[in-house]
Structure 1
Amino acid sequence: MNELYWTIAMIAGVAIIIALGIYAGRLLFMLKRQNQRHEAARQQRVIKITESVRVIAMAMEQQQCDLSEGAIRVCNLLNALPLTSPPNFREKFPHIYALFIDVSGFAVLEERQKLSKVERRKQDIAREEIESRHESKVLDELKAIKTYCAQLV
């Protein structure tokens, strides 16, 4: 009788171990699928952001977009790239980041609308002067930015 209980306990123990192993395997499979979906979504975001950066850079080169507006957009998009180990973009693209920093203090959107026409004009003149100082270096750097974005995809 004692031997029968021992055998039943062993069978139950083996069944529990097999059930836990199957459950753990299922959880690992689900985790792997979730990680794959997460990576695919991250890659899609990288593609979308780099395409946006490329379009803005081309618009800046073709003077369809103000340099300051383009610099703000490009810098914010580069900073939003979901990379595992992103480079220091300020060092990699110093001229567009310098322009970004120089124009980041100006009023935008509703804040700009609240300014008087005189104050808005003063800011526009100051922004245009900053853009003219950075123009040639930023335009040269746009090629490197587009090349970098092409390498990410």
Structure 2
Amino acid sequence: MLWIIILALLALSVIFGLAFYAMRLLKALKQQQGMIAQAKAARCNRLKESIEIIGKAMQSGECNHSEGVIRLAMLLMPFGKNLQPYPAMMQLHKIVRDMPTHENYKQLEKKTRMRLDLERKSAEIKFEQDIIKEIRQLLDDIKQFGEF
């Protein structure tokens, strides 16, 4: 009988020990989930802020439209969005997205660079007025973007 009581107490202490350990793990998991949620919210806010900065720079002429649409397309991806609702920006993006940049651009022949520049600038001029309108819409739309 004494052995049964000792074994029962031992079993209860193991159960309580495991329950305590499980509670600690659940508390740590909850903290970790909270930190992940905070990190996601902070990233979401940074992305929205970046979209707003680029949009305003495009409006004021500090950032050319070609560079702006390339950057905006990348910043919209984490939200599951794209330039589809903004046809002029989408068209410009289709024209410039595959054009070489940086070192690849410098390695092109002068004639090729001039042709690409002319193509890019022509497209920017063609879509400029519509893009300015669409940027206003985009800046309004990002306020409605949820988290990802």
Please give the TM-score of this superposition, normalised by the length of structure 1. Answer: 0.87
Determine the C-alpha separation between the residues in 1 that align with 2:118 and 2:109.
Answer: 14
Moved more, 93-102 or 8-17: 93-102
Q: Which stretches in structure 2 are left out of the alignment for 5+ residues?
A: none
The answer to whether the 8 A contact 1:46-1:152 is kept is no
Determine the C-alpha separation between the residues in 2 that align with 1:93 and 1:33.
Answer: 40
Post-superposition CA distance 1:9-39 (Å, at most 9, x none): 1111111111111111100110111111111
1:144 aligns with 2:137: yes
* Cα drift, residue 147 of structure 1: 1.6
Moved more, 22-31 or 128-137: 128-137
Moved more, 14-23 or 133-142: 133-142
What residue number does 1:132 align with? 125
Determine the C-alpha separation between the residues in 2 that align with 1:110 and 1:8.
Answer: 77
Determine the C-alpha separation between the residues in 2 that align with 1:13 and 1:92.
Answer: 64
**What is the CA RMSD across the aligned residues, in angstroms?**
1.6
**Equivalent residue for 1:26, pick from 24, 27, 30:** 24
Structure 2 matches for 1:34-45, cutoff 5 A? 34-45=32-43
Kindly, what percent of the aligned residue pairs are identical? 27
**Which secondary structure does the structure 1 equivalent of 2:98 belong to?**
coil
Q: How many residue pairs were aligned?
A: 146
Q: Which stretches in structure 1 are left out of the alignment for 5+ residues?
A: none
Post-superposition CA distance 1:79-118 (Å, at most 9, x none): 1x3x5xx3x4243334323321221121101100101222
